[in-house]
Amino acid sequence: MVTTIQIEESLKHKLDNLKIHHRETYNELIFRLISASSPKNASRESLIETIEVLSDPGTMREIAEALESYQRGKGVDFEEVKKKLKLDV
């Protein structure tokens, strides 16, 4: 079922700024925000930090671009980084 909601223009502008890509739908955006900010086992500080990251469109774009790059095989696996840096994490 599809429904329509009314929001103020200022909120729409904020939502537009949170989109990872201009083609991301509001449905996808809201689902992503809700999923990322689930209060299960989260402390107040971590929720605040999550909100700060989610509120920064530049950071969200960079995260999305990094994920896309990694999915295209352009990233380096964490295990490889640990070996290269001789870390025992």
- Has residue 69 been placed in a domain? yes
Number of domains in the chain: 1
Query: Which residue would you say has higher pLDDT here, 41 or 28?
Result: 28
Single-letter code of the amino acid located at 87: L
- Has residue 48 been placed in a domain? yes
Q: 60 and 20 in contact (C-beta within 8 Å)?
A: yes
Average pLDDT, the chain: 84
- Has residue 2 been placed in a domain? no
- Has residue 36 been placed in a domain? yes
- Has residue 4 been placed in a domain? no
Strand locations in 3-50 (E)? none
Q: Is the pLDDT of residue 41 over 60?
A: no
- Has residue 37 been placed in a domain? yes
- Has residue 51 been placed in a domain? yes
Q: For residue 50, give both structure tokens.
A: 């999550």
Tell me if the pTM is above 0.85.
no
Q: Is the pLDDT of residue 88 over 70?
A: yes
Domain carrying residue 55: 9-85
- Has residue 3 been placed in a domain? no
